[in-house]
Structure 1
Amino acid sequence: MRFATWESGGRVRAGAVSGAGLHPLPDGTTVLGLVRAGLPAALRAGTAALDGPAVPLDDRVRLLPPLMPPTVRDYVAFEEHVEGVRKSIDGVGGVPPEWYDAPTFYFTNPYAVTGPFDDVPVPPGSQRFDFELEVAAVIGRDGASLTPEQAREHVFGYTVMNDWSARDLQAREMKVNLGPAKGKDSATTLGPWLVTADELESRRDADGFLALDMRVSVNGAEVGQDLLSNMGWPFEDLVAYASRGTQVRAGDVIGSGTCGNGGCLAELWGRRGELDPPPLQPGDVVEMTVEGIGTIRNRVVAGDDLPPVRPARPRPGHRKREP
């Protein structure tokens, strides 16, 4: 089953997706609400909606993010990506040995989630804007300290994810050993819809990984291609680690991290030692397709022209108030 959220005629609806178009669910129903109701209930609701009329997918319909997640954790689960981007961002080759010890993630901005065909502005002050081709899993049940076996049962479904990145801002921030911050929080695209986990189970390879083809192009020219099954850990391990000693909740998004072999520009910059292909510019169109899920396509537009950030003042060193 596939679930989508869309706006048409000033009205936002949620529904199931078929070859005929979008089949609305009852008024007031959201995809996040379906996720929180659990996969069996969601499948029943979707099946009922498919018996009703369809809204054609045409230019009168604007697809929105399938859901607005309460949290977004984004991992770095592809070894090839780590190797290339580290060289580009830090100037150091190779994969840190700590990467192999456990999957690593950061929390990104859930308020910056954008639709699958929305325009995406360049973050203020960035000259090295980049895309990142990923797949995201959506949690379907609350849980804490899950085993990987339990975690598989907590995945509701999957969607395509583009973790847009301002590489110049990111490089500065990460020198402070805390970021990324403004290098990452301007936009995260999800879509075009949410595909339930049962629909993709047949795509698992002999090692239990989802073997889905992933491709990205800029202005119609293919830049990267990989298999989702090249992840260092399967999604159930990522979910289990996210829940370790804490909670995951229904609706949370878990990003795979960027695939290798051109899944982002920074990987190629690190390998080639030059900005080839060049950073994204206003007017560029980035298209991503993941087998079994769908395609998202976003045009880059100019962002806000804001004044420079004020630097810190010199350390005053006072220990007591002046008399």
Structure 2
Amino acid sequence: MRFATYEYEGAERAGVVRDGVVHPLPEGITVLTLIEQAVLHAAGAEALETPSELTVDQVQLRPPLSPPSIRDFVGFEAHIEGVSKSLDGLEHVPEEWYRAPNFYFTNPHAGHGAQDDVAVPAGCSVLDFELEVGAVIGRAGRDLTPERAREHIVGYLVFNDWSARDLQKPEKNLGLGFSKGKDFANTLGPYLVTADEVEDRRDPDGFLDLEMTATLNGELIGRDTLANVSWTFEEMVAYASRDAWVRPGDVLGSGTCGWGALAEHWGRLGERLPPPLTPGDEVELTVERLGTLRNRVVAGRTDVYLPRARKRGRTPRP
């Protein structure tokens, strides 16, 4: 099933999408609520029994759910290799990357829908997109094994982890993770596609073989497959749940696929081609079976709040 959250005639509703038709769920019901109550499939089946004349073209898609948290992994070796050269001038993959599926927490309150405009963040002149797949947790778990973790994944969606590269680089140098270079926007959608819809695309090693493509202003600039990720989602969920809880609605990003960001092109080509995103650019990210995100970049605010540190005396108090 494909679950959507959408806006229609000024009201936000949730529904199930089949063959381009939106079958509304009862008012007040959210996709996250259905996941938390473990009734997602039952509620979806009931909604599909009611005829509807509402089509996807008539609604404005919102993020399918409001996730309690978003962990973003870095699962594709090709992406790390290309971006390392762009940001650090070194075409290599750090040895630490191979040891475990590392992740960072990004902003769950910065969600944009599949058709929303995305504003350039203040102070940014090097805006980039990142093509990923997000796995959505269906039920709580802690200290999971990869075998058990599969039961905890309710579905998948397309995930664009927008990046302000010029803000990201100095943040990276501090070693504390990203802040304003990442927290301004992420796009989730267009739907939450339940796990059973893609299970037949699992290869013998447990990876989902779904084609991923990135298009900028109508020109294809990147293609990869989710099967090239170095850890399965089950392994990533198991690692995330070590000594910690994963909760219903949590999103775990795969990391950016190979050639799924402009920074990879810049690193490999040695110049910023295609150039950083500017207002008017349209980014289209598609994952087979999951759908397409189509976002237009628009101008953002021009004022930048940037308080500099005050230098203080270093004499310790007694």
Give your verdict on TM over 0.5.
yes
The answer for the alignment partner of 1:53 in structure 2 is 51
The answer for the alignment partner of 1:94 in structure 2 is 92
Q: CA deviation at 1:313?
A: 2.1
Q: Segments of 4+ in structure 1 off by > 6 A? A: none
SS state of the match for residue 216, structure 1?
strand
Confirm or deny that 1:316 pairs with 2:298.
no
The answer for the alignment partner of 1:240 in structure 2 is 238
Report the Cα distance in structure 1 between the residues aligned to 2:20 and 2:93, rounded to whole angstroms. Answer: 46
Q: Quick one: structure 1 residues 22 and 243, their matched pair in 2 at CA, closer, same or farther if it must change by over 3 Å?
A: same
The answer for the alignment partner of 1:255 in structure 2 is 253
What residue ranges of structure 1 are gaps of 5+ in the alignment?
none
Q: CA deviation at 1:54?
A: 2.1
Native 8 Å contact 1:20 1:54 kept in 2: no
Structure 2 counterparts to residues 1-323 of structure 1, below 5 A:
1-38=1-38, 41-57=39-55, 60-260=58-258, 262-320=259-317
Native 8 Å contact 1:9 1:60 kept in 2: no
Report the Cα distance in structure 1 between the residues aligned to 2:52 and 2:234, rounded to whole angstroms. Answer: 34
Q: CA deviation at 1:318?
A: 3.9
Report the Cα distance in structure 1 between the residues aligned to 2:51 and 2:123, rounded to whole angstroms. Answer: 47
Q: CA deviation at 1:87?
A: 1.0
| Paired residues, number | 318
Deviations 1:135-159 (A, max 9, x none): 0000000000100001011000000
Q: What's the RMSD between the two structures over aligned residues? A: 1.2
Report the Cα distance in structure 2 between the residues aligned to 1:217 and 1:20, rounded to whole angstroms. Answer: 22
Report the Cα distance in structure 1 between the residues aligned to 2:21 and 2:122, rounded to whole angstroms. Answer: 37
SS state of the match for residue 157, structure 1?
strand
Native 8 Å contact 2:20 2:56 kept in 1: no
SS state of the match for residue 174, structure 2?
coil
Q: Give the AA of the match of 1:306.
A: D
Q: CA deviation at 1:306?
A: 1.5
Q: CA deviation at 1:310?
A: 2.6
Deviations 1:58-87 (A, max 9, x none): 554111000000100000000000000011
Q: Give the AA of the match of 2:255.
A: G
Tell me the TM-score normalized by structure 1: 0.96
Q: CA deviation at 1:309?
A: 1.1
Report the Cα distance in structure 2 between the residues aligned to 1:74 and 1:264, rounded to whole angstroms. Answer: 15
Deviations 1:243-280 (A, max 9, x none): 001110010000000000x2000111111111011000
Of 127-136 and 16-25, more deviation after overlay is shown by 16-25
Q: Give the AA of the match of 1:312.
A: A
Native 8 Å contact 1:78 1:258 kept in 2: yes
Q: Quick one: structure 1 residues 80 and 20, their matched pair in 2 at CA, closer, same or farther if it must change by over 3 Å?
A: closer
Native 8 Å contact 1:200 1:292 kept in 2: yes
SS state of the match for residue 175, structure 1?
helix
Report the Cα distance in structure 2 between the residues aligned to 1:82 and 1:21, rounded to whole angstroms. Answer: 39
Report the Cα distance in structure 2 between the residues aligned to 1:55 and 1:181, rounded to whole angstroms. Answer: 43
Report the Cα distance in structure 1 between the residues aligned to 2:284 and 2:182, rounded to whole angstroms. Answer: 19
How many percent of aligned residue pairs carry the same amino acid? 58
Report the Cα distance in structure 1 between the residues aligned to 2:95 and 2:53, rounded to whole angstroms. Answer: 51
Q: Give the AA of the match of 1:271.
A: R
SS state of the match for residue 45, structure 2?
helix
Tell me the TM-score normalized by structure 2: 0.97
Native 8 Å contact 2:128 2:261 kept in 1: yes
Report the Cα distance in structure 1 between the residues aligned to 2:250 and 2:201, rounded to whole angstroms. Answer: 23
What residue ranges of structure 2 are gaps of 5+ in the alignment?
none
Q: Give the AA of the match of 2:272.
A: L
Deviations 1:263-311 (A, max 9, x none): 0001111111110110000000000110011111000001111135132
